[in-house]
Chain A
Amino acid sequence: MSPRKSTSKIEGGQLDRGQHILRGIVLFLGALVFLFPFYYMIIGSLQKSPDPTVAGAFPNPANLTLDNYTAINSRVDLVQGLINSGIFTGGVIIGTVVFGVLVGYALAQLQWRGRGVTFALALLVQVVPFQLLMIPLYVLIARDYGLADNYLGMILPFAINSTAVIIFRQYFLQVPRELFDAARIDGAGELVLLWKIALPLVRPALLTVILLTFIGPWNEFLWPFLITKEASMQPLAVSLANYISTVAASAANPFGAVLAGACVLAGPAVLLFILFQKHFVATNIGSGVKG
C-alpha cells in the first residue's frame, strides 16, 4: 500500500507543476481576452480613420490623432457631462456614507425593536430589480414631485446604497461591544460614541464603500436617461448613449468619436479601481451580499 502511495505522490507532484503552469497560462490569456476590448477602445479612439483589420489592432503612427476627442467634444459637452456625473455620484456617496454609517452602527451595536426587520429589508432590497420600479418612480419623481432635469431627482432613488449599509454593519460587528459599554458607563451619548469611537475604527470600510458606491451612479444609464431631457443636465453616460443612438451616423469617423467618449467615461472608474484595487476585497463584497 504505502510504496504505491509514495510513487503516486511523486507523480502527483510533477502533475502539480504542469497543472500549475497550465493554470497560470490559461488565467493570463483569459485576462488578456478580457482586457482586449479596453485596449481596442484606446487604439480605436486614436485612429484617424477606423481600421477594423487585424493590423488595425496595433498602433500605426501614420494613423494616430487626437481629433476624435475634439470631434466628440464638439457634439457632447464632455466637461459638463463629467461634472453632472460627478454631482450625481458625489450625492449618492455622501448619502450612502452619512446614513449608511448610522444604520450600520445601529444594526451592529444597538438593541432596538425593528432591528431584524431593518436588516432583512437591507438584504431584500438588493434583489429587487430596480428596473421594475422605474415606471412608478418616474411618475412619482418626474411627474408628481417635478424633479425631472434636477440633480436631486437623479440622486433620490440611489441615495443610500444597501450593500454599503451591510458592509458598515459587518465592520461595526467586529468592534468589541465592551468598548462601547465602557464608554456608556462613562456617560457618553450614542452620537458621541459613534463619532469618537466607532467612526475612527471603521475608517478602512469607508474607502471600500466609496469605491463600491462610486461605480453604481457613475455607470448608471437608465434612470438618468429617463429623468433628464435637457442636455446640460445629463451625466456623461447619458449624453454619450444619446450620441451613439442618434447622431453617430452623421459623424465623419463615428467609431473614433464614440470610442473617444467611451475612454473619457471609463477613465475615472478604471483609474480609481487600479489605484485602490486592494480595497476592492472579495470578503467585503461577499459579506455585503451574503450578510
Chain B
Amino acid sequence: MSLVTKAPPAAGSAPAGARGGHQKGDRRRRALGKNPIGLLLSAPYLIFVLAVFAWPLVFAVWMSFHEYFFAAPGAQVDRPFVGFDNFREVLGDPDVIRSFGNVGIFLIINVPLTVVLSLVLASALNKAVRFRTFLRVGYFVPYITASVAVVGVWLFLFSGAGLVNQILGPLAPEPSWLINSQWAMPTIALFVTWKQLGFFILLYLAALQNVSQELYEAAATDGAGKVQSFFSVTIPGVRPATVLVLLLSTVTGANLFTEPYLLTGGGGPNGASTSPVLLMYQRGIEQGSPDVAAAIGVLLVIGVLIIAFIQRQVAGGDES
C-alpha cells in the first residue's frame, strides 16, 4: 500500500487539462480516486449487476406487495398495492407449505452429506499420488455435465425395472424410487449431492493448501494419529471453507428446479417432491400470477438468510 502513495501521479489517468492546476487535480483525486478511469472500465459490469441483479431484486419485492399480472407491453394497467395479501395467499396454500417442507428434507440429507463427503474426499485426494488425473476427472465430471443429460441416466437407473432395483432385488422399494412419495425427495437429494460434489471438493482442495504443514507435524509429535489430526488440525483449518460450502449447498438446495421438474415429472408423486422454485414457475408463468410467485421467492430468500445465519453461528465465521 505504501507503494501506491509513493507512486508518481499517473499521466494516463488524468486528462491533460487537469495537469496544470495542481489543486484542481487534488480535488478530483479525492472525489474520484487516483485513477478515475477505473470506474469507466468497470461501468459495463456495474450496469450489468444493477440491471440483472439489483433492479430485479427490488422489482420482485415490489411485485409481491402488489396485484401484478401480465399485460400487453405498453398497456396502461392498474396494479394496486395489496399489502400482505399475496403472502397470506401463499402461506395458506398447502402446496407451498409442502414444497418448503420438501426443501427441508432435501437440505437435511444433502447438506451434511455434501460437507462430510467433500471434505473427506478432498483430504484423501490431496494426499493421493497415483491416478491423480483419473481421480480428478472421475469426481469432477458430474459437476461439469448438464443436469438435463444426467437426469436421463438416473431415470433409467432408478426406474421400476432399472438396474438399481435389479441389484437390490427384493429390497427394492415399492413403488419405485422416483414415484414413491417417501423416496422421491431423498433420491433427488442424492442426485444433487453426486452432481455437485466435485465443486465442493475443489473448494476444500483449495482450502487444504492453506492449512500449515507444521500443524500436522506438531500433532504427529504429540502422538496424534491420522484420524486424530484430521479432527484436530484439518477440520478447524478449513473452517472458513466449511462455512462457504454450507452456504453454497443451501443456496443450491433452495434453487432446486430442474431435478424435480424432470426426474419426478414435475414434483410428483402428488407434490411429494415439489420445490418452491418449481411452484414459482407453475404459479408465476404457467398460471399467470407473477405476484404470488414473487411472494414465494421473497419467503424463500428470507428462509435461506435465516438458515445461513444459523449455520454461521454454529460453524463459526471467519477468524474474526
| Dominant secondary structure at the B interface | helix
Q: Does B315 contact A (CB under 8 A)?
A: no
Q: Does B121 contact A (CB under 8 A)?
A: yes
Given contacts A24-B128, A106-B38, contact A112 B152 (CB under 8 A): no
CB-based contact A188/B12 at 8 Å: yes
- Of A34, A121, A177, A245, the contact of B138 (CB 8 Å cutoff): A34
* Nearest-Cβ distance from residue A66 to partner chain B, whole angstroms: 17
CB-based contact A283/B240 at 8 Å: no
List chain A residues, Cβ under 8 A from B33.
Answer: 110-115
List chain A residues, Cβ under 8 A from B37.
Answer: 106, 110, 112, 190
Instruction: List, sorted by A's number, 23 A–B pairs whose CB atoms are closer than 8 Å.
Output: A27-B135, A28-B134, A38-B142, A54-B167, A102-B41, A106-B38, A110-B33, A110-B35, A113-B33, A132-B297, A133-B56, A135-B290, A135-B294, A136-B60, A136-B294, A177-B4, A221-B258, A255-B156, A262-B150, A266-B145, A266-B149, A282-B202, A290-B206
CB-based contact B127/A140 at 8 Å: no
List chain A residues, Cβ under 8 A from B94.
Answer: none
* Nearest-Cβ distance from residue B138 to partner chain A, whole angstroms: 3
Q: Does B147 contact A (CB under 8 A)?
A: yes
- Of A15, A130, A140, A240, the contact of B149 (CB 8 Å cutoff): A240
* Residues of chain A having any CB pair with chain B under 8 Å: 8, 15, 19, 23-24, 26-28, 30-32, 34-35, 37-38, 40-41, 44, 50, 52-54, 56-57, 99-100, 102-103, 105-107, 110-115, 118, 121-122, 125, 127-140, 143-144, 146, 156-157, 159-160, 162, 165, 177-178, 181, 184-185, 187-190, 192-194, 215, 218-219, 221-222, 226, 237-238, 240-241, 244-245, 255, 258-259, 261-263, 265-266, 269-270, 273-274, 277, 280, 282-283, 285-287, 289-290
Bound: A140/B68 CA distance, A: 13
Write the chain A residue with the least CB distance to B164: A52
Beyond known contacts A221-B258, A222-B281: 5 more, CB 8 A cutoff: A32-B138, A137-B52, A188-B12, A266-B145, A282-B209
Bound: A100/B172 CA distance, A: 50
Q: Does B7 contact A (CB under 8 A)?
A: yes
CB-based contact A181/B277 at 8 Å: no
CB-based contact B152/A262 at 8 Å: yes
CB-based contact B156/A143 at 8 Å: no
Bound: A277/B127 CA distance, A: 19
Bound: A286/B55 CA distance, A: 29
- In the A-B complex, list the 8 residue pairs whose CB atoms are closest, starting with the nearest: A286-B206, A31-B138, A112-B38, A110-B38, A112-B33, A110-B35, A219-B146, A106-B38
CB-based contact A245/B265 at 8 Å: yes
* Nearest-Cβ distance from residue A134 to partner chain B, whole angstroms: 7
Chain B, range 125-183, C-beta contacts under 8 Å to A: 125, 127-128, 130-131, 133-157, 159, 161-163, 166-167
Q: Does B211 contact A (CB under 8 A)?
A: no
CB-based contact A283/B59 at 8 Å: no
Q: Does B306 contact A (CB under 8 A)?
A: no
* Nearest-Cβ distance from residue B90 to partner chain A, whole angstroms: 13
CB-based contact B156/A28 at 8 Å: no
CB-based contact B146/A57 at 8 Å: no
Bound: A265/B154 CA distance, A: 15
List chain A residues, Cβ under 8 A from B135.
Answer: 27-28, 31
List chain B residues, Cβ under 8 A from A280.
Answer: 140
List chain B residues, Cβ under 8 A from A135.
Answer: 60, 63, 280, 284-285, 290, 293-294, 297
Write the chain A residue with the least CB distance to B134: A31
* Nearest-Cβ distance from residue A131 to partner chain B, whole angstroms: 4
- Of A27, A137, A261, the contact of B56 (CB 8 Å cutoff): A137
Chain B, range 80-134, C-beta contacts under 8 Å to A: 121, 124-125, 127-128, 130-131, 133-134
Bound: A115/B39 CA distance, A: 8
CB-based contact B128/A23 at 8 Å: yes
- Of B35, B141, B266, the contact of A111 (CB 8 Å cutoff): B35
CB-based contact A41/B38 at 8 Å: no
List chain A residues, Cβ under 8 A from B290.
Answer: 135, 138-139
Most B C-beta atoms less than 10 A away, residue of A26, A111, A130, A156: A111
- Of A8, A41, A290, the contact of B240 (CB 8 Å cutoff): A290
* Nearest-Cβ distance from residue A81 to partner chain B, whole angstroms: 11
Given contacts A52-B162, A99-B44, A237-B148, contact A35 B138 (CB under 8 A): yes
List chain A residues, Cβ under 8 A from B231.
Answer: none
Write the chain B residue with the least CB distance to A237: B148
Q: Does B13 contact A (CB under 8 A)?
A: yes
* Nearest-Cβ distance from residue B85 to partner chain A, whole angstroms: 17
* Nearest-Cβ distance from residue B291 to partner chain A, whole angstroms: 9
Chain B, range 278-296, C-beta contacts under 8 Å to A: 280-281, 284-285, 290, 293-294
Given contacts A34-B141, A52-B163, contact A157 B52 (CB under 8 A): yes
- Of B11, B124, B294, the contact of A185 (CB 8 Å cutoff): B11
